[in-house]
Amino acid sequence: MLDSAGKVAERGAELVARVLRVRPNAVLGLATGKTPIKLYRQLIGKYRAGELSFGRVSTFNLDEYLGIEPDDPRSYRAYMEREFFGHVDIDRANTHIPACPPGENPKQVGPRYEERIRHAGGIDLQILGIGQNGHIGFNEPSSSLNSRTRVKTLAGKTVEDNSELLSPGEFQPRLAITMGIATIMQARRVLLLATGAKKAAAVAQMVEGPVTAMCPASILQMHEYVTVLVDEAAAAALKNRAYYDLTFRENEALDERFGAYYADS
């Protein structure tokens, strides 16, 4: 738990930087939405300061809308360009987004995307946000906990939350292609960021509730290596906060003393 959304982004960027120091050719899983924008700013800052290079990094985004062209400013491709790719030394050929080219069967995109992830050697670090309804990617409540990249119908709540980013009367996508829950669970490490009071209930359900498809993020309780970074407001409904703060500090102290440890490095 950290004091502010700014601190969450700072700490998150430090964690990404640690992974890239150990593995400069890491495969990163990327998220869109409001939350990771500050994290991307931090990473851009580190790149500009010469602390980080993305020259050998590959990326796989979690999701993309169906029916929106890549050059449409509302697409997640455009978001990534605007918020991150356009400001660092990443090779666009190594950036992947599960978009469906016009005229193609969207149901074929998922298996192809899975194959690309496998071919790249799997995701080293997956960055995630969480929806107010507990979704990760666009895996809405009731999504199979064993799902793979596929077409998903957005939940009413997601459509409502996302409409804040659209002008009134604009076409609003109701379908998307998203990495599945099993795809996310296969990432070697997960970094989930949540900020603001609107996320408090979802964060508490994810961490302290039952593992259930009705809160897709709760499956992360079964992941081997997850870091959840939250600000005060998003942590407000957690019952066991003092203990989480303690374990976080102890872990940080070990990492500071011995360096971050990766079993596979």
Q: At a CB cut-off of 8 Å and minimum separation 6, what does 171 contact?
A: 67, 68
Binding mask 30-69 for ligand PGA (x = CB under 6 A): ---xxx----------------------------------
The tokens for 198 are 């609107």
Q: How many whole angstroms separate alpha carbon 180 and alpha carbon 146?
A: 7
Tokens of 156: 């009413």
Residue 140 annotated in active site:
yes
Give the binding-site size for ligand PGA (rule: CB under 6 A): 6
User: What are the tokens at 247?
Assistant: 């374990």
Q: Does 92 engage in binding with ligand PGA (CB under 6 A)?
A: no
* 245 a catalytic residue: no
Region binding ligand PGA by CB under 6 A among candidate stretches 79-87, 107-115, 124-132, 220-228: 124-132
Nearer to ligand PGA by Cβ, of 35 and 95: the residue is 35
**Nearest approach, Cβ of residue 155 and ligand PGA (Å):** 10
- Does 139 help bind ligand PGA (rule: CB under 6 A)? no
Q: In the chain, which ranges are E strands? A: 27-30, 58-61, 63-65, 95-96, 125-128, 150-153, 175-178, 189-194, 226-230
Cβ closer to ligand PGA: 33 or 180?
33
- Cβ contacts of 7 within 8 Å, gap of 6 or more: 231
- Phi/psi for 103 (5° steps) reads 85, -10
Q: Which is nearer to ligand PGA, 163 or 240 (CB)?
A: 163
| 29 lines the binding site for ligand PGA (CB under 6 A) | no
Name the one range near ligand PGA by CB under 6 A: 12-20, 42-50, 128-136, 183-191: 128-136
Q: So which residues are the catalytic ones?
A: 63, 133, 135, 140
